[in-house]
Amino acid sequence: MNPDEATRNSIDRLWTEIDRREDELIETVAELVRHPSELGNEAEAQAYVAEHLRQTGLDVDVWDLDESIMSLPNAGDSGVPFPGRPNVAAVQKGAGSGRSLIVQGHIDVVSPEPVAAWSYDPWQATIAGDRMYGRGAHDMKSGDALNLMLPRLLRDLGIQLNGDLIVQSVIEEECTGNGALDAARRYRADAAVITEPTGGRFTHAHVGVLWFRIGITGKSWHAMQSWYGVNAITKSIPIMQALQALDARLNERTHPAFADIEHPINLNIGVIQGGDWPSTVPGACELHCRLSCYPGQSIAETRHEIETAIAGAIAGDSWFAEHPPSLTWDGFQSAGSTVAMDEPSVKLLDAWHERVFGAPMELKAGTGINDMRYYNFAGIPAGCYGAAGDNGHAADEWLDLRSMVPAAKVLGAFILDWCGVAE
């Protein structure tokens, strides 16, 4: 890290401006939270993002994903059609000679249900003390606001970058990753940062994730003669036990990035649907599951392990021999990824983190999936870095408001140093 004088001066001015406009930064998070954006309902929030970028003077690109991406490797299927739920990208054009950078965030948030468990309205961005409460306040409208405000502050300060700065706001991070998959092939850059709320840590690795459904067929009958029926719910028990055993087996394997994590691989049986009447033997049951895998393991290999586990559970069962369970793949179908710590962009981000925080950034290996993978798959080195908070995907999700200014300073200085400042 040895920025020239123009860059150093610009960083000083940017940091002063970030301090001065902290309220505006936080209000931008609040505005985003007040635009609910669950799966299928992303349009209004994306319109806000696009308008914000337009007002900054960027070239804004708003596009619906094309169905054809569903056939690409690591694409998933959310079951929701793409039209009317666009991705947004915008380019702050550089003077031409510097390195380019993508800063990316996802606009989608998970459901706040059960809302009764919240102390605050999940869509009102209530501030209490140093916290903002709201669905997405943490994951990840905090990062979306950073991505909107940094180009705005540069514009207002009259700072011209050398390399292009590309802002992206994508859909479907929480269920497939299709938004990032499409954005990472539409735009190229020399590096990317996903501004997920990492609490000032750097996500350098994360697992892959698959969702799957197992359909079990039984034979419905009146419960008073249950021996004539086949109970699809109880038939699913050995399959669930086999999945639990698979989870245990997979955690016997290790991966260097996940060595400190107690149970890195997680097979979750998240939904069970079966039967419809207490006095009827259930004729059908369906399990909806999620399994993770270490980076480096392919989707085909992971699917094979699931298929083998199920085959073992049903072997020798005469009912299953005639009525084999169905196995279908929905939602996430993506491998994990890593980024090397000696990538120039990672080293530079680390240096600016250390300048702001007084210590090197801690590393984080994600046991959940995030959008960085598609940039790494496309040859654009990418990791996650952003603000702090907690209760993502839970009641009373909150953003630590004090974390926004330091995160903005690290990312802002990194952008200026990476892309360069035009004289």
**Alpha carbon separation from 342 to 65, 102, 123, 167, 338 (Å, rounded):** 34, 19, 40, 24, 12
Q: Name which of 106 and 235 has its Cβ closer to Zn ion.
A: 106
371 touching Zn ion, by CB under 5 A: no
Q: Name which of 140 and 306 has its Cβ closer to Zn ion.
A: 140
Rounded to a whole number of angstroms, the minimum distance from the CB of residue 407 to Zn ion is: 14
Catalytic residue among 42, 61, 164, 173: 173
173 catalytic, yes or no?
yes
Adjacent-strand bridge partners of 101: 165
Tokens linked to 273: 């649907």
Stretch that binds Zn ion, among 132-140, 226-234, 336-344, 394-402 (CB under 5 A): 132-140
Place of tokens 């940062």: 193
CA 175 to the chain's CA centroid: 8
Tokens linked to 2: 């040895």
Give, as one character, the DSSP assignment of residue 77: B
Adjacent-strand bridge partners of 334: 209
Question: Residue 301 region, left (φ>0) first, then alpha (ψ -120 to 50), else beta?
Answer: alpha
Stretch that binds Zn ion, among 1-9, 135-143, 198-206, 343-351 (CB under 5 A): 135-143
Rounded to a whole number of angstroms, the minimum distance from the CB of residue 310 to Zn ion is: 31
Tokens linked to 378: 């496309």
Q: Name which of 143 and 282 has its Cβ closer to Zn ion.
A: 143
CB proximity list for 304: less than 8 A, separation 6 or greater: none
Q: Name which of 100 and 104 has its Cβ closer to Zn ion.
A: 104
SS3 state at 211: strand
- Give the integer Cα–Cα distance in Å for 148 and 274: 45
Stretch that binds Zn ion, among 28-36, 133-141, 175-183, 324-332 (CB under 5 A): 133-141
CA 227 to the chain's CA centroid: 47
Rounded to a whole number of angstroms, the minimum distance from the CB of residue 117 to Zn ion is: 20
From the list 251, 232, 349, 342, the residue with the least C-alpha distance to 291 is 251
- Give the integer Cα–Cα distance in Å for 276 and 283: 9
Compose the 138-177 pattern: x for residues touching Zn ion by CB under 5 A, - for all others: -xx-------------------------------------
How many chain residues touch Zn ion (CB under 5 A)? 3
Q: Name which of 29 and 140 has its Cβ closer to Zn ion.
A: 140
Rounded to a whole number of angstroms, the minimum distance from the CB of residue 37 to Zn ion is: 12
Exposure of 309 in the CB half-sphere (CA atoms within 13 A): 24
Rounded to a whole number of angstroms, the minimum distance from the CB of residue 90 to Zn ion is: 20
108 catalytic, yes or no?
yes
Q: Name which of 160 and 198 has its Cβ closer to Zn ion.
A: 198
Quick check: 294 and 253 in contact, CB under 8 A?
A: yes
Catalytic residue among 17, 108, 247, 417: 108
Tokens linked to 216: 């079990």
Angle at 80 between CA 75 and CA 86, to 5 degrees: 80
Rounded to a whole number of angstroms, the minimum distance from the CB of residue 220 to Zn ion is: 41
Rounded to a whole number of angstroms, the minimum distance from the CB of residue 173 to Zn ion is: 6
Compose the 175-204 pattern: x for residues touching Zn ion by CB under 5 A, - for all others: ---------------------x--------
Q: Name which of 309 and 365 has its Cβ closer to Zn ion.
A: 365
Which residues of this chain interact with Zn ion, rule CB under 5 A? 139-140, 196
What is the set of active-site residues?
108, 173
